[in-house]
Amino acid sequence: MDTERKVAAEEKMREWCVALPKVELHAHLNGSVRNSTLLELAKQLGDKGVIVFEDVKDVIMKNSRSHLECFKLFDLFHILTTDHDTVTRIAKEVVEDFAAENVVYLEIRTTPKNNAAKGMTKMSYINAVIKGLKAVEAVDVILFDSNLRTNETLSCTPMIELDDDTKKKKIYVGLLLSIDRRETTSAALDTVNLAMEMKDQGVIGIDLSGNPVVGEWETYLPALQHAKELGIPITIHCGEVPNRKEIQAVLDFCPQRVGHVCCLNDEEWKQLKSITIPVEICLTSNVMTGGAPSLEMHHFADLFNAKHPLSLCTDDSGLFSTSLSNEYYLVAATFGLSKSELFQLAQDAVQFVFADGEVKKSLRRIFKVAEKRLMLPAEFAAPN
């Protein structure tokens, strides 16, 4: 194939990955903010003399990031974003961005923050996020809750007809509350209790995240245990760094899902596979932070070949300049997956969502409709 035709084929594949309905299970709110919004916010704070805009501009626009740089950047992002109106704005934009690339189900995770100076409590922070989700106009946002099972209008709603442009697009959104590894046991417990309190307002699970070289498993265990006892689904960042003790503890804890699993040794790998915990795979994030040596050597291939349950995710689409469509494209380009394998991968992620059966049913219908359009016989033909 000459270069021109190769470029055209790649472009077509990228478009196909955008058109593919997708399920996003691992996206941090503050890591998914548009660069343009961060720059605008930085400029405003620069004008007020709170930060020096020129110092942060290059940091925001930089592309490759070590773990240390990431967490320094998050501290900066939190200075830029933590007031109620800004939280509302970024939540709205993040959902709009995912919906624009045909993400049909989104679990967005965020760390509830107390900030006395802004009159912010963990609850008011999450309410500001929810306000942002409700402010989205470009698509219908279905913020589902634990009552959804009994909500007839939702379960009977005809879902996105991808071949019918007259229908407004829909996106299901659920919120996961993150425990930051820097937090105390009592702060972590507050987050779990908040999740319980807000379970009828779109909060559907708990996440453990934060700088992987900070904190001790014993500190968050009581909160995670409490969440388990309350029946709240849990996902845990696991093995971003080779912390043997914590990786073992996470596998023994057996959460509903784990993220990353980069630095597992043979024994841990065996255990993960035997208990078949679904894995949230974040290719670009892992390569950029050094959790995986390269795309080609990413552990996606091993898990995929072993038919281990997994789902492609972005982690921090803003921070790492990626999108979920791009992650699917990278899998095709790097590991040679066909369109039907990519479609199956996207569709299989429905099994691992924290939403209940009615939402899953609706998602399956979306994929069925999309299959007709995306998997035409011509789509199977090799590009020439």
Ligand X SMILES: CNc1ncnc2c1ncn2[C@@H]1O[C@H](COP(=O)(O)O)[C@@H](O)[C@H]1O
Provide the binding-site residues for ligand X, judged by CB under 6 A. 28-31, 70, 74, 110-111, 178, 180, 209-210, 237, 240, 285, 289, 315-316
Taking the least distance from each CB to ligand X, the nearer of 31 and 132 is 31
Stretch that binds Zn ion, among 215-223, 228-236, 262-270, 312-320 (CB under 5 A): 312-320
Picked from ligand X, Zn ion, none, the partner binding residue 70 (CB below 5 to 8 A depending on kind) is ligand X
* Minimum distance, C-beta of residue 313 to Zn ion, in the bound complex (Å): 8
User: By CB under 5 A, is residue 280 in contact with Zn ion?
Assistant: no
Neighbours of 211 (CB within 10 A): 18
* Minimum distance, C-beta of residue 141 to Zn ion, in the bound complex (Å): 22
* Minimum distance, C-beta of residue 209 to Zn ion, in the bound complex (Å): 5
Using CA atoms, how far apart are residues 310 and 258, in angstroms rounded to an integer? Answer: 10
For the chain, helix, strand, coil in percent to 5 are 55, 15, 30
Taking the least distance from each CB to ligand X, the nearer of 71 and 328 is 71
User: By CB under 5 A, is residue 327 in contact with Zn ion?
Assistant: no
User: By CB under 5 A, is residue 315 in contact with Zn ion?
Assistant: yes
* Minimum distance, C-beta of residue 170 to Zn ion, in the bound complex (Å): 26
Using CA atoms, how far apart are residues 257 and 276, in angstroms rounded to an integer? Answer: 9
User: By CB under 5 A, is residue 207 in contact with Zn ion?
Assistant: no
Taking the least distance from each CB to Zn ion, the nearer of 92 and 237 is 237
Residue 341 is among the residues annotated as catalytic for this protein: no
User: By CB under 5 A, is residue 101 in contact with Zn ion?
Assistant: no
Stretch that binds Zn ion, among 135-143, 161-169, 195-203, 309-317 (CB under 5 A): 309-317
- 213 phi and psi angles, rounded to 5 deg: -100, 10
Asked whether the beta carbons of 268 and 239 are under 8 A apart, the reply is: yes
* Minimum distance, C-beta of residue 111 to ligand X, in the bound complex (Å): 3
Query: Tokens 């921090």 belong to which residue?
Result: 316
Contacting residues for 375 by C-beta, under 8 A, at least 6 apart: 339, 340, 343
DSSP 170-201: EEEEEEEEEEETTS-HHHHHHHHHHHHHTTTT
Taking the least distance from each CB to ligand X, the nearer of 90 and 303 is 90
User: Mask: binding to Zn ion, 64-83, rule CB under 5 A, as x and -?
Assistant: --------------------
Bridge partners (DSSP) listed for residue 315: 27
Comparing C-alpha atoms, which of 260, 234, 241 is closest to residue 313?
A: 260
Q: Which of 240, 246, 268, 280 is catalytic?
A: 240
Taking the least distance from each CB to ligand X, the nearer of 212 and 233 is 212
* DSSP code of residue 148: G
| Virtual torsion, Cα 113, 177, 308, 247, nearest 10 deg | 50
Residues with a catalytic annotation lie at: 240
Residues forming contacts to Zn ion in the complex (CB under 5 A) are: 315
